[in-house]
Amino acid sequence: MSNYTSLTAPILAWYDIEGQQHNKPLPDGEFYIGRWPANDVVVADPTVSRRHATIIYKHLRHYLIDQSSSGTLLNGTRITSSEPHLLKDQDLIVIGGTQFTFLDPFKTISKAQFDSLGMAESAPTPVAPPKPPAHPLVHGDDLSVNLETGEIQISGKEVPLTPKEFALLALLYQHQERACTRPEIRRAVWPERDGDDEQAVSDEEIDGLIRRLRQKIEQDRSNPRHIITVRQVRGYRFKL
């Protein structure tokens, strides 16, 4: 790669759960984001697919491709198809609970303009992405949930959850404005299974997981306050 290309390479910038900023130049190839350790950026979130999204370089531009079962947010719009979406400077990408910023430092400067400015010996300092709010911490009268740290407490006492129970709670919390359907639960909680129907994960498995989670976080399991059954869509929603 030439020196000019490396200096003007677009950057993906984000903050991790500890508030540490990361800037990673995007290659002239494919750049993978997801839960797999082999990805270029690993997002340790149970709602994120193993290979959630790919940024590809084509015709001198970068494009975002969603490869997940739950979708990726690009500037607040959910994209779910495998069709490439052109990335522009300052575009915001949200995968799970992590927000990324696509930065293109020299989007309007040609090589001749670049050389005339006498900038060939030093790269510009990337603009930091907007820092996300503090860890997603939500409180109810008795229940508090922190998805970043994985801490679940009832009346100040920590409640241990299994990975599947936590994945279910994280899914319902992140979509608490609506009900999550059984196919959504299958894809998010059992990503290792192939498919989103009863042949992959039975209704009995979902019902059992809901029951065990309610046993841990509901004070009255016969009249649940936090995990609400929505019979119209055969799903569930989270409520504080």
Q: Is the pLDDT of residue 109 over 60?
A: no
At residue 146, the pLDDT reads: 78
Q: How far is CA 217 from the centre of its chain?
A: 25
Q: Is the pLDDT of residue 98 over 50?
A: yes
Q: Is the pLDDT of residue 137 over 90?
A: no
> Burial, 226: exposed, middle or buried (Cβ in 10 Å; 0-12, 13-18, 19+)?
buried
Confidence bin at 206 (pLDDT 50/70/90): very high
CA dihedral 96→99→100→103, nearest 10 degrees, is: 160
**CA-CA distance, 143 to 36, in Å (whole number)?**
31
Closest by Cα among 94, 11, 10 to 53: 94
> Over pLDDT 70: what percentage of the chain?
78
Residues 138, 214, 137, CA angle at the centre, nearest 5°? Answer: 10
**Model confidence over 17-60: pLDDT tens digits?**
667 789 999 988 899 999 888 899 988 888 888 899 999 998 88
Q: Is the pLDDT of residue 101 over 90?
A: yes
Closest by Cα among 26, 21, 20 to 8: 26
Element (H, E) at 240: none
**CA-CA distance, 126 to 97, in Å (whole number)?**
23
Q: Is the pLDDT of residue 7 over 60?
A: no
DSSP code string of 8-61:
T--EEEEE-TTS-EEEEEPPSSEEEEESSTTSSEE---TTS-TT-EEEEEETTE
